[in-house]
């Protein structure tokens, strides 16, 4: 079996070419992908060549962990799933390329347990489920404190704010340095950091991925406050000890989402409490992948780029 796949041949060079797939096993499903998303966090680092050493890293590689499609074939143990619309966080079934994370392809082979059934009505918005689960994991893995400041009004920052509100938490303040990105807030305020005099925040969530902000964020904490690092950072983070000591500050890292986070997000969506609307701003065909990846990472107007595989 073959598929067309986006391949990062080396930093800054993206191609679309055929790749052979491993045969599906009894517990596997074959998914025909309709849409795949481009992550401006981890995939930007892979594209630029700045990704720190990471298990499975190497070129050429198939990027992507945000795919939505339909199960078109299934092994003997998964035949009951034929026809389901599913979200797939990638695949490692490629021959001749690393599958990190392996979602940007027309056809994917993956274990049935990794294909999460979703409503077909979500369509391309379904690719946002991974980021929503990431946001929910950051919120749920601490001591229950609601975020009272979120740094960054990209897709992750917006989802952090939306999920906090959906779960009945108070509306957070959001920082955004790009004026054009301050629009689109629903139920919370987005401000320029320079306009914020507060220094008593108890829970600050950084969704910016900026490695040089930690000192500033600690200076904005009240005593016993916490900074949650929800982005992905390509350089070492540092801070001055005395200000952190005076505040008895805590720093927490939010890692990869877990299956329970995905279930919780889908429940919020089904209940009408969480909307994924107005987060996808750009779409492209896979044949234009080289330009699409560059634009996703360099155009400040691009919140989320999606590849539409349906005519490929």
Domain(s) labelled CATH 3.40.50.720 in the chain stretch across 131-253
More confident residue, 142 or 306: 306
More confident residue, 250 or 144: 250
Q: CA end-to-end span of the chain, whole Å? A: 16
Q: What percent of the chain has pLDDT over 90?
A: 89
Residues 194-230 as b/e (b if ≥16 CB within 10 A, e otherwise) read eeeeeeebebbbbbbbbeebbeebbebbeeebbbbbb
Give the residue among 17, 20, 19, 7 at the shortest CA–CA distance from 46.
Answer: 7
- What is the rounded average pLDDT of the residues 203-229? 97
Cα 208 versus chain centre, distance: 12
**Contact between 23 and 68 (Cβ < 8 Å):** no
Number of neighbouring beta carbons within 10 Å of residue 169 = 17
Query: Quick one: pLDDT at residue 99?
Result: 77
The full DSSP string for 159-170 is HHHHHHHHTTPP
Query: Quick one: pLDDT at residue 42?
Result: 84
The full DSSP string for 258-308 is -HHHHHHHHHHHHTT----TT---EEE-GGGHHHHHHHHHH-TT-S-EEEE
- Residue 127 has what DSSP assignment? G
For the whole model, what pTM was predicted? Answer: 0.94
Query: Quick one: pLDDT at residue 256?
Result: 87
Place of tokens 């979703």: 118
pLDDT tens-digit series, residues 97-122:
987 789 999 999 999 999 999 999 99
**CA–CA separation, 131 vs 230, rounded Å?**
11
Name the band, by pLDDT with cuts 50, 70 and 90, for residue 263. Answer: very high
pLDDT at 56 over 80: no
pLDDT at 161 over 80: yes
Evaluate the omega torsion of the peptide bond into residue 154 and state whether it is cis, within 30 degrees of 0.
no
Tokens for 266?
A: 């889908």
pLDDT at 85 over 80: yes
Query: Quick one: pLDDT at residue 144?
Result: 82
pLDDT, mean over the chain: 95
H runs (alpha helix) in the chain: 42-48, 129-140, 155-166, 214-219, 241-247, 259-270, 289-298
Please report how many Cα atoms fall inside a 13 Å half-sphere around the Cα of residue 75, on the Cβ side.
13
**CA–CA separation, 29 vs 15, rounded Å?**
26
Q: Which of 20-34, 50-64, 231-245 comes out lowest in average pLDDT? A: 50-64
Cα 170 versus chain centre, distance: 24
Neighbouring residues of 53: CB distance < 8 A, sequence distance ≥ 6: none
**CA–CA separation, 233 vs 209, rounded Å?**
5
Place of tokens 């720190």: 52
Domain(s) labelled CATH 3.90.180.10 in the chain stretch across 2-117+281-308
Instruction: Determine whether domain 2-117+281-308 maps to CATH 3.90.180.10.
Output: yes
Partners of 5 in the beta sheet? 17, 105
Tokens for 239?
A: 């801070």
**CATH among 3.40.50.2000, 3.40.50.2300, 3.40.50.720, 3.40.50.300 for 131-253:** 3.40.50.720
């Amino acid at each position: 079996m073959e598929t067309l796949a986006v391949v990062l041949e080396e930093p800054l060079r993206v191609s679309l070419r055929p790749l052979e797939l491993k045969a599906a096993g009894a517990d596997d499903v074959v998914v025909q992908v309709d849409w795949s998303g481009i992550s401006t966090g981890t995939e930007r680092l892979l594209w630029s060549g700045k990704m720190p050493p990471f298990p499975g890293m190497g070129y050429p590689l198939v990027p992507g962990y945000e795919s939505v499609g339909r199960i078109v074939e299934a092994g003997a143990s998964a035949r009951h799933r034929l026809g389901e619309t599913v979200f797939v966080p990638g695949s490692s079934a490629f021959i001749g390329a690393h599958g990190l994370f392996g979602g940007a392809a027309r056809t994917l082979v993956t274990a049935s347990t990794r294909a999460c059934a979703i409503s077909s009505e979500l369509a391309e918005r379904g690719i946002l489920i991974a980021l929503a689960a990431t946001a929910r994991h950051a919120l749920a893995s601490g001591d229950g404190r609601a975020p009272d400041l979120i740094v960054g009004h990209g897709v992750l920052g917006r989802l952090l704010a939306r999920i906090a509100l959906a779960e009945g938490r108070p509306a957070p303040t959001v920082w955004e340095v790009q004026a054009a990105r301050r629009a689109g807030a629903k139920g919370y305020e987005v401000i320029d950091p320079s306009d914020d005099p507060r220094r008593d925040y108890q829970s600050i969530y950084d969704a910016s991925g900026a490695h040089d902000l930690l000192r500033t964020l600690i200076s904005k904490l009240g005593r016993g406050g916490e900074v949650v690092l929800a982005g992905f950072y390509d350089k070492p983070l540092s801070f001055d000890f005395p200000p952190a000591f005076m505040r008895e500050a805590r720093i927490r890292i939010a890692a990869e989402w877990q299956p329970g986070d995905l279930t919780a997000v889908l429940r919020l969506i089904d209940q009408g409490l969480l909307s994924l609307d107005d987060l996808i701003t750009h779409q492209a065909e896979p044949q234009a992948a080289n330009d699409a990846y560059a634009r996703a990472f360099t155009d400040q107007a691009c919140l989320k780029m999606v590849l539409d595989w349906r005519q490929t």
